[in-house]
A and B are shown apart, each in its own frame.
Chain A
Amino acid sequence: MVESQNMVKEARYLYSVARTGHMARLGSIGIQENNVYTVPYKDIAAIVHACEAKPYQTEDKKLAEEWVLEHSYVIDQATKMFGTVLPFSFDVIIKGDDDVVKDWLCRDYEHLAGELLRMQGSAEYSIQVYCDYDYLEKMVLAKNQELGDLKNSIEKEPKGKAYLQRRNLDLKLKSLTRSEAGWLADQFCSEIKPLVKELKTAGRTSWTPEKYRGKKLLASYTCRVSKEAVKKLGEVLEEINCKEGFFVRFTGPWAPFSFVCLSGAG
């Protein structure tokens, strides 16, 4: 494109790429009630709305959140209409009109169609396993003879020695509980892995749902699961959830935000 940045007035806000070769109107469901439609090329299409060539910016946090939710809603609707889509991050705006979008689809067709095929029939889910730390500690104490004996002997010791021994016990118990937790997390992961197409360990978030407050996050995964495997995965997670001291949060389906890979595209 030879046009300079300043001269571009028109732009297209990009929500996702879907598998459809048809022009379709999704209605005024976009950010700020913009009309959302498809720009098809062969059997794939970009889902966009026409906008000015400038990013969505605001100082109003509430409004910003609203926009993000609207973006999310369009992706959900597109998924309902066309099956799994390639979701785009917020505020990806292509400079130019529908023809520019079409040029991009044409140039990157192989990559986009390949990625759509890879995602077909699957969706993203997130799994968090929480545990009751006190329960886990009790479990470790009950299993470990040496620690049990140490705990019993502390009662009979004089104050000073008892204090030191209690500290020693605490340290040992913490370390063993940590290894036990690590072992359990690996165990759960090995049960989940065969049922999913892809699995990523999710980072720690600062937010814990109300229901799980006071519990420790043992493991957090984001996985891409095929439609057929969701039920089985749910059963495996239910088994974990039924174990005393463990709580599973299973959410989804979402568009494959964490798995779509377009590096080199564009």
Chain B
Amino acid sequence: MNPEKESCLVEVLDRLLNKGAVLNADLIISVAGIPLIGVTLKAMIAGMETMLEYGIMEDWDKSSRELYARAETHLPLFPGEQILYKAFGYLREEEGLIKCWVPGIWNITSHRVILWIKTPGKVLFETPLENLRVLRVPASHEVRKELELIYPHGSARISLSDRNEFEEALAGAAEAMVVVRNHLVITSG
């Protein structure tokens, strides 16, 4: 078969905005030392949410801060539910044949473990704290620290930079939940 020169716009944009050579900041136009390599265009075309989500454009300029504020969403919680812990991390996703790590913010609340993506505001994963177990698993990547969340109907592979902190927070949340439940049982009894 012969290669086709046909390429769709998405691919051309990806190639030109995300690949290709760049130069050091001292030679090219920059503001406060930050190279202006089509930042605004990249943001607009390549997906504003990605750049905002990873803080690429945070504190960049007034307009992007405003945009960030507009784009900010809040994790929907149940009445009485509280966020106890938040950390950036990943979820292993195996969709069909493709395996990848999906980034987001891990939240441990008084009721659930949730992977939340701020922009556009989406819950990527959630499971109740009840009957949740967590296992340390060998890393599939040398710098990545991985954990397995085991819940009644399945399991999920996750990754955080500080898994001790996550495990502690999870243990704390589970303990608090038991205390609350006992309290409810006692008072209702």
Partner-B contacts on A (CB < 8 A): 1, 5, 11, 14, 17, 53-59, 61, 64-65, 67-69, 71-72, 86-95, 100, 104, 125-126, 131, 133, 178, 181-182, 185, 204-207, 209, 216-218, 230, 234-235, 237-238, 241, 248-254, 257-258, 260-262, 265-266
Once the chains bind, are B4 and A250 in contact (CB under 8 Å)? yes
Interface string of B1-33 (1 = CB under 8 A from A): 111111111111111111111111111111100
Once the chains bind, are B15 and A254 in contact (CB under 8 Å)? yes
A-B interface contact total, Cβ < 8 Å: 159
Once the chains bind, are B23 and A92 in contact (CB under 8 Å)? yes
Residue among B40, B94, B96 with the highest chain A CB neighbour number at 10 A: B96
B33 to chain A, nearest CB (A): 10
- Residues of chain B within 8 A (CB-CB) of A133 are 96-97
| B152 interface residue per 8 A CB criterion | no
Supply 24 A–B pairs (Cβ within 8 Å), ascending by A.
A58-B41, A59-B44, A65-B13, A65-B45, A68-B12, A89-B38, A90-B17, A92-B23, A93-B36, A94-B23, A204-B100, A205-B10, A205-B14, A209-B8, A216-B96, A218-B97, A230-B3, A234-B1, A248-B1, A251-B3, A251-B11, A257-B15, A257-B16, A258-B15
A127 to chain B, nearest CB (A): 9
Once the chains bind, are B28 and A93 in contact (CB under 8 Å)? yes
Once the chains bind, are A262 and B3 in contact (CB under 8 Å)? no
Once the chains bind, are B40 and A234 in contact (CB under 8 Å)? no
- Residues of chain B within 8 A (CB-CB) of A252 are 3, 5
Once the chains bind, are B15 and A91 in contact (CB under 8 Å)? no
B24 to chain A, nearest CB (A): 3
Size bracket, chain B contacts: 35 or more
Once the chains bind, are B98 and A217 in contact (CB under 8 Å)? yes
A100 to B29, CA, bound (A): 13
| B39 interface residue per 8 A CB criterion | yes
Once the chains bind, are B16 and A90 in contact (CB under 8 Å)? yes
Partner-A contacts on B (CB < 8 A): 1-31, 36-42, 44-45, 94, 96-98, 100
- Residues of chain A within 8 A (CB-CB) of B12 are 68-69, 72
Closest to A236 in B: B1
A56 to B16, CA, bound (A): 14
Residue among A68, A126, A182 with the highest chain B CB neighbour number at 10 A: A68
| Of B4, B5, B29, B100, the contact of A95 (CB 8 Å cutoff) | B29
Residue among B7, B29, B42 with the highest chain A CB neighbour number at 10 A: B29
A185 to B11, CA, bound (A): 22
Closest to B27 in A: A266
- Residues of chain A within 8 A (CB-CB) of B24 are 265-266
Once the chains bind, are B97 and A217 in contact (CB under 8 Å)? yes
- Residues of chain A within 8 A (CB-CB) of B2 are 234, 250
| Of B1, B7, B16, B28, the contact of A238 (CB 8 Å cutoff) | B1
Once the chains bind, are B39 and A64 in contact (CB under 8 Å)? no
Once the chains bind, are B22 and A92 in contact (CB under 8 Å)? yes
A235 to B28, CA, bound (A): 44
Once the chains bind, are B19 and A258 in contact (CB under 8 Å)? yes
| Of B4, B39, B45, the contact of A61 (CB 8 Å cutoff) | B45
Closest to B6 in A: A251
Once the chains bind, are A87 and B20 in contact (CB under 8 Å)? yes
Once the chains bind, are A89 and B22 in contact (CB under 8 Å)? yes
A181 to B97, CA, bound (A): 7
- Residues of chain B within 8 A (CB-CB) of A235 are 1
Known A69-B9, A93-B36, A95-B28; 13 more pairs at CB < 8 Å = A55-B36, A61-B45, A64-B45, A68-B12, A68-B17, A72-B15, A88-B22, A89-B37, A104-B23, A204-B98, A204-B100, A237-B1, A266-B28
